[in-house]
Amino acid sequence: MRLAVLADIHGNLPALEAVLADVEQQGADGIVAAGDYWGGPQNNEVVRRLAGLEQCWMIRGNREEYLASVDPADPRWHRRQWAMLRWGYQHLERKVLDFLLSLPAQRVLALPGTAPIRVVHGSPREVSALLFPDRDAAALRFFVQAGFLAPDEQPPSLETALVGVHEPLLVCGHSHIAWQQEWSGGLALNPGSVGEPLQGDPCARYALLTWQGDCWCPELRAVPYDLALLKAAFEQSSLLAEGGAFARASLLLSLTGQNYSGRLVGQAYRLAAEAGYADCDVVPDDIWERTVATFDWPA
């Protein structure tokens, strides 16, 4: 038995197609998808592609959770910071939206003759929480580069975060960083991101799980794909023109493996705090425009 594990596709159809081609070459029997399917130029196509597969077990991510709380009457929804989210929501087909909202927040996959797998997006308790491989120095360097950890910060304990998990394999996503680490209850695995990897290069990431003897054995894989197809999708879909600076930063992230979108938002929150806006989740438009104008965009 062999399973492919995917997460954080974010509307990147060229990356998904490259991964699915590799999955087929590796002879996988099915696919586990750990959330965050939309958030790019080809959201409908990505969801339809996955939903049309014969054996694909899917859960919601935090991006899918957003869909349940969208309120166009909320003035914050119309601010410039959320232009890319608005574009994505407004272009989702109704059937795709309903399908995403119907997905479970997490699931346990128990296939005959194998050990059960718990699949979550963030953590077992919170869809937007990060799990950290606290003993994996190489992986933690990517967390620091992405801005998820300060250079001298001690990561939260993985062991503590997984208290109450009884399955011997825990699959998560959300960080866009691939890692695997043993813990007292078994193995925790993040396959990395298909569409927006944060590992210093643009290769699409996923994981293969092979049942050997009495346990799942993981292999983390990196798959190159045609970046020109992604650029064209951003341009031809109108996302790059209408999605504002966050769309530009998201494309740069996918092309480089560097967290441009996170840096952009982080700078916006710092400027908002300096201007006296405390604890705002969406910054005022004047702060956003100042952020965009002063951001260190690559040449």
Question: Using one digit for the tens of pLDDT, what is the confidence trace for 98-115?
Answer: 999 999 999 999 999 999
Average pLDDT over residues 256-271: 98
Do 253 and 208 fall within a single domain?
no
Name the percent of the chain lying above pLDDT 90.
Answer: 98
In this predicted model, which residue has the larger pLDDT, 76 or 59? 59
Q: Which of 223, 240, 272 marks a domain boundary?
A: 223
Average pLDDT over residues 28-56: 98
Contact in structure between 77 and 70 (CB atoms under 8 Å):
yes
DSSP run (H or E) holding 212: strand 204-212
Contact in structure between 63 and 92 (CB atoms under 8 Å):
no
Asked if residue 214 is part of any domain, the answer here is yes
Average pLDDT over residues 13-27: 99
Give the per-residue pLDDT at 279.
Answer: 81
Q: Which domain range does residue 211 map to?
A: 2-223
How does DSSP classify residue 130?
P
Average pLDDT over residues 251-261: 99
Do 150 and 182 fall within a single domain?
yes
Mean pLDDT of the chain: 98
Whether pLDDT at 147 is above 90: yes
**In 3D, which of 188, 187, 190 has the Cα closest to residue 177?**
190
Give the per-residue pLDDT at 299.
Answer: 84
Do 233 and 219 fall within a single domain?
no
Instruction: Please give the Cα distance from 272 to 287 (Å, whole number).
Output: 6
Within 10 A of 279 (CB to CB), how many other CB atoms are there?
7
pTM of the model: 0.97
Q: Which of 162, 190, 223 marks a domain boundary?
A: 223
Whether pLDDT at 186 is above 90: yes
Asked if residue 299 is part of any domain, the answer here is no
Average pLDDT over residues 259-281: 95
Give the per-residue pLDDT at 64.
Answer: 98
Do 124 and 173 fall within a single domain?
yes
Position 278 confidence tier, pLDDT thresholds 50, 70, 90: confident
Q: Number of folded domains in the chain?
A: 2
In this predicted model, which residue has the larger pLDDT, 228 or 278? 228
Within 10 A of 282 (CB to CB), how many other CB atoms are there?
20
